[in-house]
A and B are shown apart, each in its own frame.
Chain A
Amino acid sequence: MNIKTFVKKAGPYVYMVPAMAVFAVFLFFPFFKTIYLSLYKTNKMGQAKLYVGLLNYADLLNSPSFFNSLLVTAIFVVIVVSVSMLLGLIAAVLCSKTFPGIRIFSTAYALPMAIASSSAAMIFKIMLHPSIGIVNKILGFHINWISDPKYALACVALLTAWLNSGINFLYFSAGLSNIDETIYERASVDGANSIQRFFFLTLPGLSPIMFYTLVVNIIQAFQSFGQVKVLTQGGPGESTNLIVYSIYRDAFFNYRFGSAAAQSVLLFLIIMILTLCMFRLEKKGVSY
């Protein structure tokens, strides 16, 4: 084979090399290595030492701590997704008609998406401070929000919901601008009031983007880490021990890399199953 045809054949792959090399080394390889590690007991350096089959998984499924972590994560995801989508939706509806200053307001609503989870957690830590925090001052309570197992999870969840509301606002705004204006005119000629218009026109019109937003939000909420690390460290007790934090703690504090790897695999499976289920559901339920 002469050089010219070789170059021609190889050319298309060459453009892939930078992207594929990074994927191979930092995504595919570690992904399979995580599965591999999850079948082993490891030493403190994270080297696989003893093949144990599915023992790590069996241990996890028998551990109340892991079940607690799953439960806490599930509650967390439900709160985060519902509150952040609601916030985004309200903001998007408020900005759906033009009025003076709309640009400033829409920037304000989208702004939380530019803020890091760790920075936001530090701000919330002060806002929720039992004696000097603004939340207790406004509400007139004396609650120690972060050290009380009853409230800690809700606090972390609301913080995350706030962070995610920005991008939801953008999604919903895009969705609203895709709805045909004339259906509103026709509906108001037919005598529909604004509440009816919202529930019978706006919401169904938003359903494709709503669905996409839901999937993205759930996946994102499952991966929350920075806010837990800064705000509660999984505590008090294990009341905010979300699954990613639990992975982090097992691997880097307890040096149980095998167990942490097994949890990572389970996290991946949960996210994959949820995503697939939702795309299956979407084909049935969402109106376009």
Chain B
Amino acid sequence: MDSVITTAAKEINRDELEKLKRSATQKALFRRRAGKFALVIVNLAMSIFVLLPLLYAVSIAFMPSSELFTTEMNLIPGNPTLENFRQAMVKIPLNRFIVNSFFVAGCITFGQILSCSLAAFSFSFLDFKGKNLLFMVVMATMMIPGEATIISNYLTVSGLHWLDSYNVLIIPYLTSAMGIFLFRQFYKSFPISLYESARIDGCSNLRFIYSILIPLTKSAIGAMAVYTFINAWNMYMWPLLVTGSDRMRTVQIGIGMLDSVDSQSISMMIAGVVMIIIPSISVFIAGQRQLIRGMFSGAVKG
């Protein structure tokens, strides 16, 4: 390249060359900028398309009922109001539902992390008879869809008189095959000598998990926590079957009560929906990077 430029430079004078160079770089720069700009525009259009249902919901939640019932375009509320949110809180015990959901999702998240990391620890650091068989069995459970067992589970818990209690919402979800798999995948990356030397130094198994494994697998735990919390918060079929009273309903079921009030209450219902979407979205946004890192650093490569 250089030699071409120098020979060319001999023929045309320096100023012209300088000009040519500058205009070429400018053109390239312009083209790159235009490309980026176009990319941003396309992305903007696509993301508005994807988020349209959510944006629309937020807009309606702030819209007075009178504005909603027109045949004209009404994308943005003319006189935004918080009345819908207030109404939704009054019509149904939404506070209670939200507390229930937070409690249930929190317990499930904590329990899954605990039970899965204990099991994964045993699978990856300890030796025992039937280890591989047991692991296969755990993995095979991933093929059983929850819906295939839901009837028998319902009959079991109603036989135990557990219906309409926190137990019934939490206990069946206290472990997950995916969680065990995820943690084992992470633990596999630690050399077994780490465990052995800790043992020689007199570290007990539980202490090894607590003070070495857990700090080292924070990203897996974070991913697991975000994923589990969102799924537990969004649970629908099981709570629908096993909860019957306002005392125990979770948000997803409780919000359905707003659905059937009357047609005038559409904006109120959407306000309720927006309120219960906010926690899961916040957890997702806060934990998104953790989730992605945890999901893909262990699972996909293995």
Measured CB to CB, the residues of A under 8 A from B are 9, 11-13, 15-16, 18-20, 22-23, 25-31, 33-34, 37, 46, 87, 90-91, 94-95, 97, 99-102, 105, 107-120, 122-127, 129, 131-132, 134, 137, 162, 165, 170, 174, 178, 209, 212, 219, 222-223, 225-226, 229-230, 244, 247-248, 251-252, 257, 260-261, 264-265, 267-268, 271-272, 275
With beta carbons under 8 angstroms apart, the residue of A113, A120, A264, A275 that contacts B149 is: A264
Chain A residue at minimum C-beta to C-beta distance from B174 = A22
B171 contacts A15, CB within 8 Å? no
With beta carbons under 8 angstroms apart, the residue of B40, B131, B147 that contacts A267 is: B147
Chain A residue at minimum C-beta to C-beta distance from B300 = A174
Complex A-B: 17 CB contacts under 8 Å: A18-B174, A22-B174, A31-B144, A31-B148, A109-B46, A115-B280, A116-B252, A117-B236, A118-B236, A118-B256, A119-B273, A122-B270, A170-B295, A174-B295, A226-B252, A268-B143, A268-B144
Give the complex CA separation of A271 and B155 in angstroms: 24
Nearest-Cβ distance from residue A1 to partner chain B, whole angstroms: 15
Please provide the chain B residues from 220 to 256 with a CB less than 8 Å away from any CB of chain A in the complex.
230, 233-237, 240-241, 252-253, 255-256
Nearest-Cβ distance from residue B248 to partner chain A, whole angstroms: 17
Answer yes or no: B43 CB below 8 A from chain A CBs: yes
B151 contacts A251, CB within 8 Å? yes
Give the complex CA separation of A113 and B267 in angstroms: 24
Nearest-Cβ distance from residue A286 to partner chain B, whole angstroms: 14
In the complex with contacts A19-B115, A116-B233, A27-B149 CB distance below 8 A: yes
Contacts of A99 in B (CB 8 A): 36, 39-40, 43
Answer yes or no: B285 CB below 8 A from chain A CBs: yes
CB-based closest 10 A-B pairs: A30-B152, A116-B234, A114-B284, A12-B128, A15-B122, A226-B236, A12-B126, A18-B115, A30-B149, A33-B152
Given contacts A113-B284, A126-B56, 18 further A-B contacts (CB under 8 A): A23-B141, A25-B156, A29-B152, A30-B151, A46-B154, A90-B46, A105-B43, A108-B51, A118-B236, A118-B255, A131-B69, A174-B292, A209-B300, A230-B256, A244-B237, A260-B151, A268-B143, A272-B143
B288 contacts A110, CB within 8 Å? yes
With beta carbons under 8 angstroms apart, the residue of A110, A123, A165, A229 that contacts B240 is: A229
Among B147, B151, B233, max chain A CB count under 10 A is at B151
Interface of A is mostly: helix
Contacts of A252 in B (CB 8 A): 241
Give the complex CA separation of A117 and B256 in angstroms: 12
Among A16, A105, A248, max chain B CB count under 10 A is at A16
Among B53, B116, B205, B233, max chain A CB count under 10 A is at B53
A247 contacts B115, CB within 8 Å? no
Nearest-Cβ distance from residue B250 to partner chain A, whole angstroms: 10
Nearest-Cβ distance from residue A275 to partner chain B, whole angstroms: 6
B283 contacts A114, CB within 8 Å? yes
With beta carbons under 8 angstroms apart, the residue of A127, A170, A209, A247 that contacts B53 is: A127
B284 contacts A264, CB within 8 Å? no
Chain B residue at minimum C-beta to C-beta distance from A165 = B50
Give the complex CA separation of A31 and B300 in angstroms: 29
Contacts of B180 in A (CB 8 A): 19
With beta carbons under 8 angstroms apart, the residue of B148, B256, B273 that contacts A123 is: B273
